A and B are shown apart, each in its own frame.
Chain A
């Protein structure tokens, strides 16, 4: 009798274990690592919001059909607190303990490079919306066996992003100012990303015929921009370009208007939605650019539905809410790749991603080049002194300016 009971219990345990195992096999885990606190939070919190929305949409539609099996996606979120060590620890946890199949993040170039050191040897598919990964992504490094074979850059290369932005800004501002724009001063936060991005943006401005007498760098976390702006004013610019950090840019603009620094301004990474929500006004034209599509006013037909769903899901209306689109589209892209590959095998998944043309929000034809980098347009808008806002999707230049 006793042995019969033991046998029964063993069979029950085995059945339970196999049921658990089947349930576990029906789920694909993916992770997102982003700054949900700390100084990058305004961009960082958009990543989990965008990825969550895509995961919900995929699961609500039935899941991902891989071969003859359908999987639900389980999302694991980690806050890197704008701290690179925390980002590394979170990535290690997701890769080694949670065994995720893919990771999305982070919003910062340096963090992504550190995370890739963990995701790539582990063959974890890694999407990063940084425009700055050209130094590590090339046809050799992403080829099978290459050190970044599983890493994908979901934002256009910086020369493309800077090129489309510079062209769009000058093109929209010039008719509003009413005379040719010849001299540009760039004001930028002095950190690794600011320095990197600025080198491309200055090249892009010069390619558009601008004289750039000075790039004025300010320490990160600056709140009083008046000394920097007074310095810019002494150079008599036609346009002051507030480059790179949307929050700083919004802090600086009212001070620039008070000081009467220039006849026109450009705010990088500021959405017209924020401009309208805060009731901002200026007596001179102000251009804005979104990464990649503006939520407050867009000329892109796909954007309206996406942002309605995004904000309905509880995401806040921030300066850079549109950064979420550098991640949202690629969760759907990845799901499509798994379905196309018919397997979750990382190498087969990469091959599928490389061959796919995905219809996303940002573009109807998203695909990766031979260096695992996407190309798409950037939206640029301009607010006229009367308050009217005009937006246009600006295609990137084909080649990097010399």
Chain B
């Protein structure tokens, strides 16, 4: 086996993993901590990509476009949580159906204004380094580093901050937390907005790597949910490790196995993990108990 090709496949796996992990972190936060099953999370990501594209088209650089995409999708998350999902909190199935409806609505709004065709932006970083026959694209390194930084910051916030502790207390027992003065409803909004912001960031990073269409969200969110469940709902460490595993499995199956089965390998792995460890690799919340 050619060593350079092998190392290249490992690097390929890492870059897939970072994109999937960004989505999974948003999914695991929203689904695991608020109980909202937002299947339109992929469309939030797609809107982040389109927002980035619009700003870059207007002549701004990638960094301001990324910031605007994050803020725009966070604002959209706030509006949708307050305007829609809030009314479904006691009936998660309704929330699930609402999110399915949102997929269609958001896709068609984007198609109406910007058409169905692919959109892409110039690569924010174009350098490609050749190290011993292994090609390393700087833009992929950027995506991996941003993912590490954002996931680490989110991890610290959830596990170390007062907000994070209160949030976890609300997940354990919503009523008692409310009696202790924790504004549970506001925290749910906060988590939803944070998850949406991460989707916006994921979208901005995605369009830095690949062209996007109004339909890009669908596949990505399925993998995001798979990773969130595999790692354990609400468990950030689990999401990161599961994202890595999925990325490496995808990379290697495409590179060395039956390449057309790549998706089947990943979802087969998810089924296997959930059969052996129903709460995911690292365990997680079973979702908040509904009022």
Contact = CB atoms under 8 A, between A and B. Distances in A.
B184 to A, nearest CB: 37
Nearest to B116: A41
Contact of A231 (B15, B206, B254): B254
A251 B216 CA distance: 12
B12 A226 contact: yes
Nearest to A38: B215
Interface in B29-67: none
A226 B15 contact: yes
A119 to B, nearest CB: 26
Interface in A303-335: 316, 318-319
A77 interface: no
A217 B259 contact: yes
Q: In the complex, which of the residues B118, B120, B254 has the most CB atoms of chain A within 10 Å of its own CB atom?
A: B254
Q: In the complex, which of the residues B8, B16, B251 has the most CB atoms of chain A within 10 Å of its own CB atom?
A: B8
B189 interface: no
Interface string A194-225: 00000000000000000000001111011110
Given A224-B16, A227-B255, A233 B5 contact: yes
A272 to B, nearest CB: 16
A355 interface: no
Interface in B168-190: none
Contacts of A254: 123
Interface stretch (B75-83, B107-115, B148-156, B194-202): B107-115
B262 A45 contact: no
Contact of A224 (B5, B8, B210, B256): B210
Interface residues of B, number: 44
A259 B135 contact: yes
B212 to A, nearest CB: 8
B254 A218 contact: yes
A74 B231 CA distance: 56
B13 interface: yes
A42 B116 contact: yes
A7 interface: no
A217 B135 CA distance: 22
A221 to B, nearest CB: 4
A234 B216 CA distance: 29
Given A224-B209, A230-B9, A37 B107 contact: yes
A37 B12 CA distance: 31
A278 interface: yes
Contacts of A190: 260
Nearest to A254: B123
Interface in A228-279: 228, 230-231, 233-234, 247, 250-251, 254-255, 258-260, 278-279
Contacts of B15: 224, 226
A319 B117 CA distance: 8
A251 B117 contact: no
Nearest to A42: B117
Given A227-B250, A230-B8, A259-B8, A39 B210 contact: no
Contacts of A233: 5, 8
B211 interface: yes
Given A247-B211, A254-B123, A318-B117, A227 B251 contact: yes
Contacts of B213: 41-42, 247
B209 A217 contact: no
A139 to B, nearest CB: 36
Given A37-B108, A319-B117, A218 B260 contact: yes
A224 B211 CA distance: 10
Given A250-B211, A260-B135, A230 B12 contact: yes
A224 B12 contact: yes
A251 B210 contact: yes
Given A37-B107, A217-B260, A258-B135, A231 B255 contact: yes
A258 B127 CA distance: 9
Interface string B219-257: 110000000000000000000000000000011111110
Interface string B249-274: 01111111001101100000000000
A256 to B, nearest CB: 11
B134 to A, nearest CB: 10
Contacts of B8: 226, 230, 233, 259
A291 B24 CA distance: 39
Contacts of B262: 218-219, 222, 227
Interface in B104-143: 107-108, 111, 115-118, 120, 122-123, 128, 130, 135, 137
Contacts of B115: 316
B219 A221 contact: yes
A250 B118 CA distance: 9
A247 B118 contact: yes
Q: In the complex, which of the residues B9, B19, B117, B216 has the most CB atoms of chain A within 10 Å of its own CB atom?
A: B117
A231 B256 contact: yes
Interface of B: 2, 5, 8-9, 12-13, 15-16, 19, 107-108, 111, 115-118, 120, 122-123, 128, 130, 135, 137, 206, 209-211, 213, 215-216, 218-220, 250-256, 259-260, 262-263
Given A41-B215, A216-B259, A259-B135, 13 more contacts: A190-B260, A217-B260, A219-B260, A223-B209, A223-B210, A224-B12, A230-B9, A231-B254, A231-B259, A233-B8, A247-B211, A250-B118, A318-B117
Interface of A: 36-39, 41-42, 45, 190, 216-219, 221-224, 226-228, 230-231, 233-234, 247, 250-251, 254-255, 258-260, 278-279, 316, 318-319
10 contacts: A37-B108, A217-B260, A218-B262, A224-B12, A227-B251, A228-B259, A231-B254, A233-B8, A247-B118, A250-B118
